[in-house]
């Protein structure tokens, strides 16, 4: 069974989308194995987004994730990484297909509601950050 990390970012929490997003995953019959609401530390965020250090949007990204609480959860199932990323849609909500989470609820590429690990290695690394 494959596992992956999902983060509902501060804008998703603030807008009251947690239940809707969780329900979409539950309807796909994946197991939710860990779930927590938290306000991340700057250290957690910097570790999570370390591949973006030095990029023009890095500080804006840190500020955005520090705006409020997030919901972190782990799902498991067959091919769950690809399935989750398909459900979430393109990181640019304008390009995201209607029916995807970002297509239905995203406002901008910088404030795009949700994160999902992009592969097994990143899922393993990211789950350790949010669930250690």
Q: Is 115 a catalytic residue?
A: yes
Q: pLDDT band at 117, cuts 50/70/90?
A: very high
Instruction: Look at residue 81 in the predicted model and tell me its pLDDT.
Output: 97
Burial annotation 93-115 (CB, 10 A radius, 16+ → b, else e): beebeeebbbbbbbeeeeebbbb
pTM of the model: 0.95
pLDDT tens digit sequence for 42-64: 999 999 999 999 999 999 999 99
**What domains are there in the chain, each with its CATH number?**
2-130 (3.30.70.141)
76: which residues sit within 8 A by CB, 6+ positions away? 1, 2, 3, 4, 30, 31, 33
Q: Among residues 48, 85, 102, 115, which one is catalytic?
A: 115
């Amino acid at each position: 069974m494959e596992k992956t990390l999902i983060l509902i970012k501060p804008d998703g929490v603030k807008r009251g989308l947690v239940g809707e997003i969780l329900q979409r995953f539950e309807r796909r019959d994946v197991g939710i194995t860990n779930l927590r609401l938290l306000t991340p530390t700057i250290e957690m965020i910097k570790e999570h987004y370390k591949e973006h250090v030095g990029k023009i949007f890095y500080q804006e990204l840190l500020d955005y994730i520090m705006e409020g609480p997030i919901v972190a959860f782990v799902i498991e199932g067959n091919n769950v990484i690809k399935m989750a990323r398909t459900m979430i849609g393109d990181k640019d909500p304008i390009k995201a297909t209607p029916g995807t989470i970002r297509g239905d609820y995203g406002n901008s590429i910088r404030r795009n509601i949700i994160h999902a690990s992009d592969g097994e290695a990143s899922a393993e690394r990211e789950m350790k950050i949010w669930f250690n």
